[in-house]
Structure formats: C-alpha cells, structure tokens
C-alpha cells in the first residue's frame, strides 16, 4: 500500500521534503526538518531569495547565515523550479495568505503554488498546507487540484492541513518544541502527516478533520486579536478616568486563576493577528453569520495609531505647540519587540498620520536600519542614533515598540516629552514619584 | 499618631475586625481572619442568618458547620446591631452590589450599610470596601459618610478599597492564598489596610489609589465575560460549519503561548461575571464612552440559554417531536460545577424558556435538592433521582452544569437525546466513534 511505502521512507529518512514558500515560516521549518536528517528542497518564486539561500545567506534575523550555510553544505537546496515537485515525497506549503484591501481572503499565493506544482504531483506524496486560512480551504480549494491529476486521496495521495505556529523572537519555543496540530482528509492522510511532522516536532495534536485544524489556528489568533482589542478599549476608558491601564492590568495579573494579562499598544501588527481573524469573518458570511467580536476587535485595534497621535497632539498642545512642524521621533517601528519584521506594523500607520499632520518624522530602530520598501507605505528614512543630545532635539518621542536594546532611562531623562504606548516607562515613572521627582514628561497613550 | 496605635493593635492581634455582610464573601473572610487569631464581629441585617451562625450552623456548602461552631466557641459573634461598629477597629464591607433591571449599578446595600454604621464611626478605625463596584465609589460614595462624622481620612481614620476575589469550589486557592489588591485614599490609609489584610493573606498587591483597585476587579471580570462571550459566539459559527468547538479549543490550548482556553456554555452565571462589567459601562457613560466589548459579551452571553433551547427544539424536531409536551430533564442547575450557588444561573433561564414553550421540565442537581426561592424566578420542583430508567423516560436531557458527581457514562447510555452545552460528553462520544458505535443521541449546543 502507498501509505506503508510512504511511512517506511519517512522512518528511514529517505523521504525528501519539499518546502514551498521560503519566508518567516518556510525557512525555520526547512531548518528543523534538515536538522532531523531529511533531504530538503526549498521552492520559491523569488529568484533572489533562492540565490541568497543557495549562497548560504539568511534573509531572516533570527536564523543566522551560518545555519543556512550548514544546510546548503548537505541535503538542502533552494530552487525556483516547480517541476522538482516530483522529486519530493512530502510537499509542505508555507506561502502568505493576506487580505485584499476589502479585508477579504487573498488565496492568490496558495492557488498559484497549486497551479505551479500540481502538474508534478505523483502517487505516494503527502501534501500539507501550513498557511492560515478559512475552514474548508484544504477540502474545497486544494483537493480539486489533486483529484484533477487522477490521484485518489487517502489511497495513493495524502492531503493534510497543519497550521504553522511560528513565533519569531520567542526565546522559549521553536519550531520543534511548539506542538503541531494536524487534520487529515482521511485517517490515512492524517497518519502520513503525523509521521512526517512527528519526525521533527516533539508533540503532534491530531484533530478530526482538515476543517477543524483550519479553525484551530483561526481561534488562536482571534483570541489574541480580541484580547488585545479589549485592553485597547479599556486603555481609552482608563485614560478618561485618569487611571493607568498598565498598573491596573499588572495588579489584575496577580489573580492566580481566570485572568491572563494582555497589554495595550499602538495597534496590532505582524502577518497573523491583524489578518487571520477576517478569514473566519469572510467564511462565516456563507452561513449568514456575523463575527461581531472579530469585527469589533479589528475596528478598535485599527483605531489605536490615531489614538496615539491624538494623545501626542494633546500633550504638545498643553506645551503650546502644534504637531504641524514639530520634530517627532518614533522609537521602535518593527511590529513587536526584538524582531525586524515590519509587516502590518502599527508604527507605520502612526508615522503616516504624523506626516499627514505636518510633523517632521524620524525613527530609531536598530532592527530596521533603513525603512524598507513596503507595498503601501513609503518613507525615505534611516534609523537615527539615540543619544542624550539627539533625544533632547525632538519635541516628542513616541515609544511605539519597546525593543530591549534601548536605554529607556536615557529616554526618560533626556526627552522633552515621551508618549509611551507600551507602558515601558511606567515603573521608572513610579520610582520618580516615590522619590518626589517630577516626571511630567511621560504620557501613557 | 492614630496610624501607629492602629498598627500596634493589628500587630498584637487585639484589633477587632468587623465584617459587614455575611454571605459568600463575608463568611470565608471572617473564618480566615478568625483563624489568624483576631476577634471577629460579623454584622448582617438578616436576623435568620445571624442566628444560624451564632448557633454554629454554616449557610454555605464549602464552609462546614463545624468550622462555624469552632468560630463561635471563641472570638466570633454575629449580630444585627450596627451600633457595635464602634467596638471594631477594622470595618470590612462585603455586601452585594447587583444591577437593577436596567443593568445599572445598585449600590443600595452599600449605602444602607454606610447609613447604619457611620453614626458609630470613631477615631482610629479602618474602613475597607470589598464589594465590586465602579471606579470612584470609595472616593465619591463612602468618603462623604466619613467626613460628615468630622473624621480626617488619612489622619485619624483610614479608608481603603480591596476587592474580594473569592472563587467558591476552587480547590487550589482560598481566601488566604489568593493575592489581595489594595488601594488607599492616602498612603497612611493604604498602610493600615496592608497591615490588616497582610495579617491573614499571603500576598498583598498595593496599587496607587482606591480607583485603581476598583478598576482592577472590574478588568478581571470583564476579561472573563468577554472571553466567554467570544467562545460562545465561536460556538455558533463552529456549529454552522459543522465543527465541534470543544475539539477546536482543546487543540488550540496546546499552543504553549499566547492562548488561554475558555469554554462555551449555556450562558454565564454567578454574582460576578454577568454583573460586574456593567459597573464600568455605567461609569464610562459619565465620560461619554461606550464599552463595546462589555455590551457585546453581555448580549451574546445572554443569548445562550435561547440558543441551547433552539438546538433542543431542532434535535427533537428531527425526531418528529415538538418541544411542547416533551419531557425534558435539566442536568445541573447551579451556575457552575460543584457549587450550590444559583445566583444568575443560566440554567434557570433555560428552564423558563422550556416552560414557556410548553415542555414538561424536571431537573437533577444534588447540590440543589429543592429549587430555591429566587426573586425573579419560580419553580415548584425538587431534584429528581438519576437512574438508567429515569434517564430513559425523558425526551431530552439538557446537560447545563457538569457537576462531577454525575455518572455521565450512564447519561450517555440511557438518555434518548442529550443536548450537551458543556462538551462534557465529547470524549466519550469520540471513543464511541473510534469503536464504531453509534452516538447519535448527543448534540453539542
């Protein structure tokens, strides 16, 4: 039987694993599989990315180039050639699933990958989608490509969905130690998927269908989006009541059950939280349902960049200054702490509003030395140095992402005005209050 | 100084502690303080409750009568006489703070307690409110009563807010081991509060104001209400997509960061989660703000009893039966597992809808042998025995609260139809599917 042959190849690690899409998910995945001893073929449409990897250079901050070089030395190759799909025993798809400008799912990358690879499907292969998507995608979108090739899913071809759970910058967990959820189109499909992923991931969590596995990933990110949306709304309420939301959340977090702390910020970023929930919203419409928590969280989180700017305008106004013409430094522009990832970063929205209002905008972020090319955003800026003198030269410093490599004590001492959207300076501020020193240069926003 | 004398009395445990309101919060609190060696005076307007306690009988399931008897034997007494306020060094208020029928805060019990006790305020006392309430209550409502008596807060009288965090039925934590948040009207007030509570609670969490402490408690319960509202909405979406939300949440819960599992149910109950969030909603209006997550969670959670009934109607209809005239057993009617507390229990709303639709309603709950007198609800019912025969005699069994003393295997085997609102039978159902046995008598709702 095809399944037995497949399992044998996985067991002796002769199975070749193809990774389709070499980005924030595909590269760490390729690395983990390679480390487990399998031959790995990386496939991407981006020739520059392919050449870079084959030359032993890493395009991702937290994967060092020497790791990529070690992979290239044996059992790893990157290619633009989708006909090499036929060489692979397992085909793992890790391409982006963004939203279009109407917040509808854009499965363009999944579809074009399927179109490019499916002519080379053969008996005995496993196909697994890792990209986040709406429940039913594997069944309704991927399956027809396989069946069109005359293959029989569950008998001579295996189809799974297994969502990626990468968390760049997380020091406690990596691809191998994060449990992996798998749903199969049939029980044999799931067994094939469990065998492959179980070879390099510590814990496999099998669920009853590909749809269930697709829903799991959405629920994880919906949970985050809604909880962040909630604390962002509470931040606005707390501010009106002259309360510090960060103090309140820290105290609530001392409850040893029934509470998990989420912290507000200038909005949400990254490729997951601002996007994934709307995949469920879109699919739910087919069933006449409205996902109200998702919509509310999206709306409130999207309003936060403007809120941070509003607080800046108010604080400058108190000092007799307009935002127009003011020198403003944005501190931290990557979407979260200690990463270089700018995707959907709320800092960019803050910077755009500041620019629209006529501010003279600069930024500091050692993770992002030069403002990158982005599809929707354009700034001709590089990270400025952070010194006592440079800090003092700005009318306002907006703390947007609290990277750990910044000297916040220096920021607090030398900035004329800090708009702290992360609560990072709160502890220092409290210490000043206790010492009866003035810290009226810090505004929580 | 008054504060030094006060601290000395606390230190040598000669300070008498008055507990105002002897219910789910006041009785465990009195017990914990008594255990620490202080003399305790319990004060309540309910003469029956006072007599019961003085006779050594406990009105609360998880506090045994022998504990109350042990208290009465030395250093504890209950009274209806508010003039004895004067005897106490610390005055801790634990009265209910419900909503009126327009979902507005009802501080009637707090106000009447203040009216009854304040004539007996004297120098050197600490007054602490534990009841959940809107930010500003201690400052705006309690403070005037104290000042009217000519006392100077922070100098010869101390005013705090310290929210109760009782969790009846929680086997891991009790009054002593749950960290206690305290905000004081002044630093001296907070020091007095920390001294008292720190004498019998392991960890004190001091915050900057009474308002901050009031907000902490609300944020804790808003977090729960919103997270339960979210999974209740997701349950409806999952059902439309033919997915089992309990399976999805269990799989999502294997993510070791960024996700906390909350489970859906037939609605929310108890004295906190359905009520407390609206205290913030009400206060926020004063600032022109609308707490949208709270309102949405309230609406969705309140819709769940009807949803459970709708699912029951659909399942009966599939069997050619109407709900009208059907025999329906509600399994578990207390508001949560393994408690006897019926306050705001969603089961009662389910029972009322069933009755309105013409069903013949019975219930089983060993924690609630007789349906209690409730202000808004009336049923002349007692808990029926649960046997194979009795189960088989109902057209539908609605699993509403999954107490641990029920034999769910028997339920699954002998009930013609189970509407499982807690996902309790899911594991058994999956085992049946694996064994290829039919389990079409279970509907997740």
Q: What is the pLDDT of residue B293?
A: 98
Distance of CA B54 to the CA centre of its chain: 25
Mean pLDDT value of segment A304-314? 98
Angstrom distance (rounded) from CA B42 to CA B63: 15
Q: What is the pLDDT of residue B193?
A: 98
* Domains with residue ranges and CATH for chain B: 2-208 (3.40.50.720), 241-444 (3.40.50.720)
Query: Is residue B333 a contact partner of residue B261, using CB atoms and an 8 Å limit?
Result: no
Nearest CA in chain A to B281: A237
Q: What is the pLDDT of residue A435?
A: 66
Angstrom distance (rounded) from CA B208 to CA B187: 9
Distance of CA A125 to the CA centre of its chain: 29
Residue A172 and residue B258: Cβ atoms within 8 Å? no
Quote the ipTM score. 0.94
Residue A173 and residue B233: Cβ atoms within 8 Å? no
Angstrom distance (rounded) from CA A386 to CA A410: 9
Q: What is the DSSP letter of A136?
A: T
Q: What is the pLDDT of residue B271?
A: 85
Residue A314: pLDDT above 90? yes
What angle, 0 to 180 degrees and rounded to 10, lies between the N-to-C axes of helices A47-54 and A65-73? Answer: 80
Q: What is the pLDDT of residue A60?
A: 87
pLDDT digit string, tens, across residues B403-445:
999 999 999 999 999 999 999 998 766 766 666 565 678 998 8
**B223: chain A residues, CB-CB within 8 Å:** 227, 230, 252, 258-260
Both tokens assigned to A353 = 């509003």
Query: Which residue is associated with the tokens 């003198």?
Result: A389
- In sequence order, the β-bridge partners of residue B387 are none
**B298: chain A residues, CB-CB within 8 Å:** none
Residue B254 and residue A205: Cβ atoms within 8 Å? yes
pLDDT digit string, tens, across residues A124-179:
999 999 999 999 999 999 999 999 999 999 999 999 999 999 988 788 999 999 99
Mean pLDDT value of segment A5-18? 97
Pick from A133, A180, A213, A243 the residue to mutate for testing the B interface (most B CBs within 10 Å): A243
Residue A248 and residue B178: Cβ atoms within 8 Å? no
Q: What is the DSSP letter of A105?
A: B
pLDDT digit string, tens, across residues B185-199:
999 999 999 999 999
Percent of chain B at pLDDT exceeding 90: 90
Length of chain B: 445
What angle, 0 to 180 degrees and rounded to 10, lies between the N-to-C axes of helices A292-318 and B292-318? Answer: 180
DSSP symbols for B234-284: HHHHHHHTT--HHHHHHHHTTSSSS-------S---SSSTTTTHHHHHHHH
pLDDT digit string, tens, across residues B18-28:
999 999 999 99
Mean pLDDT value of segment A363-370? 97
Residue B287 and residue A240: Cβ atoms within 8 Å? yes
Residue A221: pLDDT above 70? yes
Mean pLDDT of the residues in chain A = 95
Q: What is the pLDDT of residue A432?
A: 63
Angstrom distance (rounded) from CA B122 to CA B8: 17
d(CA A272, nearest CA chain B) in Å? 12
- In sequence order, the β-bridge partners of residue A207 are A183
Q: Among B239, B165, B230, B234, which Cα is nearest to B203's?
A: B165
Residue A1: pLDDT above 80? no
Query: Which residue is associated with the tokens 């130690």?
Result: A177
Percent of chain B at pLDDT exceeding 70: 97
Residue B215 and residue A283: Cβ atoms within 8 Å? no
Angstrom distance (rounded) from CA A444 to CA B219: 18
pTM here is 0.95
The confidence band for A437, taking pLDDT boundaries of 50, 70 and 90, is low
- Across the beta sheet with A204-207, the strand order is A76-79, A40-43, A17-20, A90-93, A125-129, A157-161, A180-184, A204-207
Q: Among B124, B267, B105, B110, which Cα is nearest to B192's?
A: B124
**A213: chain B residues, CB-CB within 8 Å:** 251
pLDDT digit string, tens, across residues B160-219:
999 999 988 788 999 999 999 999 999 999 999 999 999 999 999 999 999 999 999 999
Mean pLDDT value of segment B72-93? 98
pLDDT digit string, tens, across residues B229-258:
999 999 999 999 999 999 999 999 999 999
Choose among B207, B230, B241: nearest Cβ to A211: B241
Choose among A167, A241, A247: nearest Cβ to B287: A241
A272 is catalytic: yes
The confidence band for B131, taking pLDDT boundaries of 50, 70 and 90, is very high
Residue B179 and residue A236: Cβ atoms within 8 Å? no
Query: Is residue A94 a contact partner of residue A23, using CB atoms and an 8 Å limit?
Result: yes
Mean pLDDT of the residues in chain B = 95
Q: Among B402, B411, B330, which Cα is nearest to B364's?
A: B330
- In sequence order, the β-bridge partners of residue B373 are none
Count of alpha carbons within 13 angstroms of residue A325, beta-carbon side: 4
Both tokens assigned to B217 = 């408690």
Query: Which residue is associated with the tokens 């039919």?
Result: B438
**B291: chain A residues, CB-CB within 8 Å:** 233, 237
Residue A322: pLDDT above 80? yes
Looking at A144-148, B58-62, B186-190, B356-360, which range is the least confident one? B58-62
- Which listed residue (B88, B160, B189, B272) is catalytic? B272
Residue B372: pLDDT above 80? yes
Residue A333: pLDDT above 80? yes
């Amino acid at each position: 039987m095809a399944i037995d042959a497949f399992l044998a190849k996985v067991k002796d690690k002769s199975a070749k694993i193809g990774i389709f899409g070499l980005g924030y998910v595909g590269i760490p995945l390729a690395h983990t599989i390679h480390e487990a001893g399998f031959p790995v073929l990386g496939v991407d449409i981006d020739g520059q990315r392919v050449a870079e990897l084959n030359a032993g250079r890493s395009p991702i901050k937290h994967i060092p180039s020497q790791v990529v070089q070690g992979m290239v030395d044996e059992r790893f190759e990157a290619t633009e050639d989708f006909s090499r799909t036929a060489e692979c025993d397992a085909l793992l798809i890790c391409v982006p699933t963004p939203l279009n400008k109407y917040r509808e799912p854009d499965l363009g990358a999944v579809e074009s990958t399927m179109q490019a690879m499916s002519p080379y499907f053969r008996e005995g292969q496993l196909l697994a989608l890792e990209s986040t998507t709406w429940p039913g995608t594997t069944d309704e979108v991927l399956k027809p490509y396989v069946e069109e090739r005359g293959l029989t899913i569950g008998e001579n071809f295996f189809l799974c969905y297994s969502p990626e759970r990468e968390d760049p910058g997380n020091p406690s967990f990596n691809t191998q130690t994060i449990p992996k959820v798998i749903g199969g189109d049939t029980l044999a499909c799931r067994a094939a998927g469990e065998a492959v992923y179980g070879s390099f991931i510590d814990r496999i969590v099998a669920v009853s269908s590909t749809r269930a596995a697709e829903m799991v990933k959405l629920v994880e990110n919906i949970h985050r989006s809604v909880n962040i949306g909630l604390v962002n709304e509470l931040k606005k309420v707390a501010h009106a009541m002259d309360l510090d939301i960060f103090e309140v959340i820290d105290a609530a977090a001392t409850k040893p059950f029934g509470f998990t702390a989420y912290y507000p910020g200038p909005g949400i970023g990254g490729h997951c939280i601002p996007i994934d929930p709307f995949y469920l919203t879109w699919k739910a419409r087919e069933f006449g349902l409205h996902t109200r928590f998702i919509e509310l969280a999206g709306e409130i989180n999207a309003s936060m960049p403007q809120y941070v700017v509003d607080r800046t305008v108010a604080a400058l106004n108190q000092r007799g200054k307009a935002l127009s013409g003011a020198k403003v430094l944005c501190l931290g522009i990557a979407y979260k702490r200690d990463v270089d990832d700018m995707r959907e970063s709320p800092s960019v929205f803050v910077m755009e509003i500041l620019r629209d209002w006529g501010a003279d905008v600069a930024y500091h972020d050692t993770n992002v030395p030069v403002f990158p090319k982005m599809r929707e955003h354009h700034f001709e800026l590089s990270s400025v140095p952070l010194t006592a003198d440079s800090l003092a030269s700005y009318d306002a410093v907006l703390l947007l992402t609290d990277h750990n490599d910044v000297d916040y004590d220096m920021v607090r001492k030398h900035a004329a005005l800090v708009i702290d959207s992360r609560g990072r300076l709160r502890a220092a501020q409290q210490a000043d209050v206790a010492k009866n020193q003035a810290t009226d240069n810090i505004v929580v926003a």
